[in-house]
Chain A
Amino acid sequence: MADAPILIDRAKCVGCGKCVKGCGFGALSLVDAPGANKLGRLAEVDAAACKACFACIPACPFKAIAQVKQQIYGTEDLESYRDIWVFAEQSHGRIAEVAFELLAKGLELKAQRGEGARLCAVLLGSALAPDLEQSLVAAGADIVYKVDDPSLAEYEANVYVDAVAQLVAKHRPEVILAGATAVGRAFFARVAVKVRTGLTADCTMLKIESTKNKDTGAMQMLLHQTRPAFGGNIMATIMTPNHRPQMATVRPKVFKKAPPDPSRKGEVLLEALKLITPQTRLVKTVRDPDAIDIAAHDILISGGRGLKKEENFKLLFRLAELLGGEVSCSRAVVDAGWAPVARQVGQTGKTVAPKLYLCFGISGAIQHLEGIRGADTIIAVNSDPNAPIFGVADLGIVGDLFEVLPALIKELEK
């Protein structure tokens, strides 16, 4: 016999029969139980008749009836979730580069998933220009779900949460990816909780593969989400077997963007949603015209603790000028106050993927190496021949950076 969805606590039941009246399906009855209580009878449930409506729970004045929890916590009707979504972060008429990187990965995931899964982009904003959605189609989106509403003109976490959660409830995507940006990390985490699913942050590898669900034993196509943990000392592969959608964020520059294909065809669906009012009022946006975006540069000249002094850190700017690059640094430099956190590379700074990463006096803590994994070429100058940075450098110079750096500047000035 199947287990009943409710459990009656025999110690609390007084045999009053209120639950019997409260049950609309005739699943409860009173049976004689001499000595169990004053009335000598107890409520009993017919498991086959119980429809799990739980109307009996509030009907019992003695709190003797409780819901028996299902063994697996999960989303109902998992199979009804399909498609792979990418959140296309948009600000002031520009789509964030990470959205295109995710669409490139999304094309791979779509092929791995098969069974007619589609790649879809979610675009939020106000008075959105049509070329935005077209760029998403050219990057691989079969469908663009577009929400165009004045309350989405500027990022407000709570309205963003509402919009995306409504779309998820309506269309049931199997997978959703977002960039791990200031926007993506914040509101996306709340979306995951709102739709009661899991979210894996900062994934560095994603693939969809047929996998056995350990709870049910069934084979499922699951998203394998691999990310660094414990400051990059450990990689973990995480899955969300029983909940949908499977949600993940990815930092900018972790995946490579694919060249756009303007001949691609896609459908743009304008979603007219009734959104909540913004919960905060934007007073002003301060955009720093001199804001440094180290991730946008192809050449990075980077410095670390080995530079010893702030003046020495400034030497790097001359080299950056000569090579047409930007200056970045390790955490030690930011902690010492020589550079703002915007220049920091690594786990707590930015992930970068330049063509050239030329670094001086950086030993290569794992957290730092994590941030330069995508660099094409790494050149390192360090006085310690055993510095871990040499393990990843294409060219390693063991030597005194105070000799090498000025000599290199001189060499390039020729």
Chain B
Amino acid sequence: MHVVVCMKQVPDTTNVRINPETNTLMREGVESIINPFDEYAPEEALRLKDSCGARVTVVTMGPPQAAVVIREALARGADDGALVSSRAFGGADTLATSYTLSMAIRKLCGGKTPDLVLFGKQAIDGDTAQVGPGVSEFLEVPLVTYVKSLEVAADGAYRVTTVMDDGEQVVEGRFPAVMTVLKEAAVPRFAPLAGWMAAAKAKIEVLDEKAVDADPIRIGLKGSPTKVVTIFPPPVKGGGEKIDARGDGEKGAKAIAAFLQKKGLVK
């Protein structure tokens, strides 16, 4: 069994702001982190390695420093990984990213499709949740989203519980599949020191557009149907009345009760 896990390095979004004068992103001092939603899929893959001897390959797309994502996964026990990286990939939207990643996955699997491709539920920079489903389409493999638990039977069939808005579905299927995995699925393991040391020395394969045989018109900004036309700071709603009730909770409570009365929100 071969499991490919796709992960992403993202800016720590809590610190991203817009320069009010130029209306451009201020990235200075913004740290890069592993997308918090991407911590669980590798663990799910490593469990399949433990239980069925699966080979675990980690793929990330991003600038050269994103290689750290792969090293961390290697330290935890992944077998190999590749960094999909080139200036030509810059500005890719979810369609171009899905295309590029699917080409990289095919390349890493010798033109075949792996048994299972795992993603986190979404990345915190764009919050789109679109690349997992997009890759499933390019790989022409069934899609299962919001997986809360995954079991693999001896005959290779899988049974998963997925989370919906109004409950859960338990579904069965056969590999190959592309799945997006929730936090509930697995608690990430710690990487042993020896793992870190080996991962630090590992040579990370870098795949560019030529290596993955990508059609140049379908990658990067040029290959992206969606164009960001403007960015601007979120509108600010002005605050209303403010009452200082420090040391006098009663005063605050009475003000709220009166306000609710006035608005007809209380009998």
Q: Which of A73-117 contact B (CB under 8 A)?
A: 73-74, 91
Looking at chain A's contact residues, the main secondary structure is mixed
Looking at chain B's contact residues, the main secondary structure is mixed
Interface residue range, chain A: 35 or more
Instruction: Assess A230 versus B165: contact at CB under 8 Å? Given A390-B239, A392-B239.
Output: no
- A395, B243: Cβ atoms closer than 8 Å: yes
| C-alpha gap A91/B233 in the complex (Å) | 37
Closest A residue by C-beta to B217: A69
Q: Which residues of the partner chain B approach A285 to less than 8 Å between Cβ atoms? A: 167-170
0 or 1 for each of A277-301: is its CB under 8 Å from B? (1 = yes) = 0011111111110010100000100
B86 on the A face (CB < 8 A): no
| C-alpha gap A395/B255 in the complex (Å) | 9
- B17, A396: Cβ atoms closer than 8 Å: no
A251 → chain B, closest Cβ, in Å? 10
- A282, B169: Cβ atoms closer than 8 Å: yes
Q: Which residue from B228, B244, B256, B266 sits with its C-beta under 8 Å from A395? A: B256
- A189, B245: Cβ atoms closer than 8 Å: no
Q: Which residues of the partner chain B approach A202 to less than 8 Å between Cβ atoms? A: 127-128
B89 on the A face (CB < 8 A): no
Q: Which residue from B165, B168, B240 sits with its C-beta under 8 Å from A396? A: B240
| C-alpha gap A287/B224 in the complex (Å) | 39
B210 on the A face (CB < 8 A): no
0 or 1 for each of B114-139: is its CB under 8 Å from A? (1 = yes) = 00000000001111111111101110
Q: Which residues of the partner chain A approach B126 to less than 8 Å between Cβ atoms? A: 201, 229
- B242, A154: Cβ atoms closer than 8 Å: no
- B217, A70: Cβ atoms closer than 8 Å: yes
- A399, B233: Cβ atoms closer than 8 Å: no
Q: Which of B213-260 contact A (CB under 8 A)?
A: 215-218, 222-257, 259-260
| C-alpha gap A107/B243 in the complex (Å) | 42
Say which one of B141-149, B188-196, B200-208 lies at the interface with A.
Answer: B141-149
- B166, A408: Cβ atoms closer than 8 Å: no
Closest A residue by C-beta to B226: A198
- B234, A233: Cβ atoms closer than 8 Å: yes
A-B contact count (CB 8 A): 295
Q: Which residues of the partner chain A approach B16 to less than 8 Å between Cβ atoms? A: 230-231, 233-234
Closest B residue by C-beta to A355: B265
A25 → chain B, closest Cβ, in Å? 24
- A190, B133: Cβ atoms closer than 8 Å: yes
A113 → chain B, closest Cβ, in Å? 18
Q: How many residues of B contact A (CB 8 A)?
A: 89
- B223, A407: Cβ atoms closer than 8 Å: no
- B241, A394: Cβ atoms closer than 8 Å: yes
- B14, A398: Cβ atoms closer than 8 Å: no
Closest B residue by C-beta to A201: B128
0 or 1 for each of A393-414: is its CB under 8 Å from B? (1 = yes) = 1111111101111111011100
Instruction: Assess A407 versus B253: contact at CB under 8 Å? Given A391-B236, A393-B239, A394-B240.
Output: yes
- B166, A282: Cβ atoms closer than 8 Å: no
- A397, B227: Cβ atoms closer than 8 Å: no
B85 on the A face (CB < 8 A): no
0 or 1 for each of B8-23: is its CB under 8 Å from A? (1 = yes) = 0001011011100000
* A positions within 8 Å CB-CB of B: 69-70, 73-74, 91, 154-158, 161, 181-183, 185-187, 189-190, 192-194, 196-202, 214, 224-225, 228-243, 279-288, 291, 293, 299, 323, 347-348, 355-356, 358, 365-366, 369-370, 373, 377, 379, 381, 383, 385, 390-400, 402-408, 410-412
| CB pairs A–B below 8 angstroms (15 shown) | A73-B217, A73-B218, A154-B169, A189-B129, A193-B137, A233-B16, A234-B25, A238-B229, A280-B172, A356-B265, A390-B242, A404-B249, A405-B249, A408-B256, A412-B266
Given contacts A197-B225, A200-B226, A408-B253, 12 further A-B contacts (CB under 8 A): A73-B218, A73-B225, A198-B93, A198-B226, A225-B226, A232-B234, A281-B171, A286-B167, A377-B263, A406-B249, A407-B252, A407-B254
